[in-house]
Amino acid sequence: MDKTATVLTYKVPPSYGGYAEVYPAKVNKAEATPVDLSAAYALSQKYGDRIRIYPGSMELRGKENYALKSRVVGVLGVGEDVEEARRISLEGTAAIKGGALWNRSDIAAKKHIAKCVNHMKQLRS
């Protein structure tokens, strides 16, 4: 088995985690439309199996996907290191349109990882 890094980023609705209440100006209500995963799936032509799209909390209405109230879709990036995996995952999340969805941009960032490592050290001491 090759050593690889993975990063999973979720797209979620504005109601998830209180985002809409904290950042109401950032919520684009005009995007409360069907969720379009086609551009994210198309990235597999570029990345092969180094990007994986995992639909989650959505429902099918006719032929369109609509976001529900939890993690709508996860995008897994696989790379030789965390930075590459993160870049692929975030490119995949950026390709997902509609649903007024948002995602955290700090996932797997060096600062975020350092904060998590320090927190684990504190818990262990």
Report pLDDT digits (tens) over 1-50.
578 999 999 999 988 888 878 888 877 766 668 999 999 999 999 999 99
Tell me, what CATH number does 101's domain have? Answer: 3.90.600.10
pLDDT in tens, 102-116: 998 899 998 988 998
- Take residue 47 and report the two structure tokens written for it: 């990345």
**Domain span at 63:** 5-124
Q: What does each C-alpha distance from 3 to 44, 51, 64, 103 come to in angstroms?
A: 20, 16, 38, 27
d(CA 63, CA 69): 20
Least confident of 26-30, 57-61, 74-78: 26-30
pLDDT of residue 14: 86
For the entire predicted model, the pTM comes to 0.86
Number of domains in the chain: 1
